[in-house]
Amino acid sequence: MKFAVLSLLASLSVTGTALAATEPELSAGSSSEEKISTDWVETESSYVFESNLVHGGVSFGEQYSFQSRFEYNHRFLIKDPIYLRLGLAYNRFDFGHTVAPVPVHLQSMAAIIGVDYMHGSDLGAFIWVKPGFYTEEHIGIASFDAPITLGRAFTLQPDHLYLFVGANADFLRGDYPVLPLAGLVWRPNDEWEVSALVPEPRLTYRPTKSFEVYAGGELAGGSFRTDHDQTILPRKLDGAQVDYSEYRANAGFVYSPCQNFSIDLAGGYAIQRQFAFTRADYYFRSDPAPFLRLEFSAKF
C-alpha cells in the first residue's frame, strides 16, 4: 500500500484559514518495488454557483466563486531514502461582483521547498515550506508568507490501518497560527476505504484498479492580504488580512486510464463560503450553493 501525499491544501481554514494540510492517500496495487515518482503535476478548477453574500443578516448581493489551481513538484535524491522536493504552486479564487467590501479575487504564488523521507515508494515523513505571496493583487512584504507543514505516517495494521500526524504553521492566518494535524485511513479490503483526514474526508469504493467512486467533504481556501483601498468602508478592511474558506459536501469519481494519470470529477453542495477578516472582526458568509470540480493529476 502506498502513501502518496497529494497536496497541502492550499488551505485549511478551520474554516479554515490557510492551512496547507497534507493528505496521505492510499493507492491500491503498489509494492515496495514500485518506482518513486520524481515529477508530478496537478491542475484543478472548481465553480460554486451564485448565492447571497450576507453580513449581519443583510444581503450584499449574489456571488459566485471560481477556483483555479496548478502545482508542479520534483524530487531530487540526496541520499537514499532522503529526497529534496522543489516545486511551484499557484492558486486563485475569482468572485462575482457585489456591493460588499470584499475582494473580487484572491491568489497565491509560492515556491515549494521540502524534504521527503521515503520508505520504498511510500512517503514516511516530510517537512515542506511554501514561501510566496498570498495577496489580492499587489505584491509586497505585507503579503509574504511561508507556511510550514510537517508530518509522519505510521502503519498501525499492514495493508489496513494507517495513522497520520503532523502540524502546520501559517503566520498570515487570522486565528491559531499553529495547528495540529491528525487522521486515520482504514481499508477493510481492496474495494473500500474510509479516510478520516482533513481537508478531504471521504468514503471510497474501488470496483477496479482504474476506477473509484467516493462521497465525503472538502475544504478549500486560504489566508491572504488584501490590497490597500482608500475608498473602502469600513476603513479597517483597508489592506486587511482575510481568511477565505469554502466548506463543501461532495460525491465524485476518479478514473485512471494508466498508472501515471488520473481524472477526478466531483459535484455537490458548498455548504458555506466565508470571508473572515479575523483581525478586523468582520465576517461575510454565503448561503449554500451547488458546485462542480474537475482535477487532473500526472506523475512520472
Mean pLDDT estimate for the chain: 89
Q: What is the DSSP string of 116-142?
A: EEEETTEEEEEEEE--EEEESS--SGG
Average pLDDT of span 234-247: 96
The end-to-end CA distance of the chain, in Å, is 18
C-alpha 38/C-alpha 40 separation (Å) is: 7
Residue 188's CB is within 10 A of a number of other CB atoms, namely: 10
Cβ atoms of residues 205 and 214 within 8 Å = yes
Closest CA to 183 of 171, 193, 192, 170: 193
Distance CA 220, CA 16 (A): 8
pTM over 0.85: yes
d(CA 4, CA 34): 12
| Domain count of the fold of the chain | 1
Q: Average pLDDT, stretch 272-290?
A: 97
- Cell for 48? 460554486
CB 244 within 8 A of CB 276: yes
Amino acid in the structure at residue 242: V
pLDDT band at 199 (very low <50, low <70, confident <90, very high): confident
Q: Are 124 and 115 in contact (CB under 8 A)?
A: no
**pLDDT by residue (tens digit) across 136-150?**
999 999 999 999 999
Does the pLDDT at position 2 exceed 80?
A: no
Looking at residue 280, what is its pLDDT? 96
Q: What is the pLDDT of residue 7?
A: 32
Q: Assign 33 a pLDDT band (cuts: 50, 70, 90).
A: low
Rounded to an integer, the average pLDDT of 189-211 is: 95
- Mean pLDDT value of segment 28-46: 76
pLDDT in tens, 3-27: 333 333 333 333 333 333 344 444 4
Q: Residue 122 is part of which domain span?
A: 2-299
* C-alpha cell recorded at residue 222: 486560504
What percent of the chain has a predicted confidence (pLDDT) above 90? 82
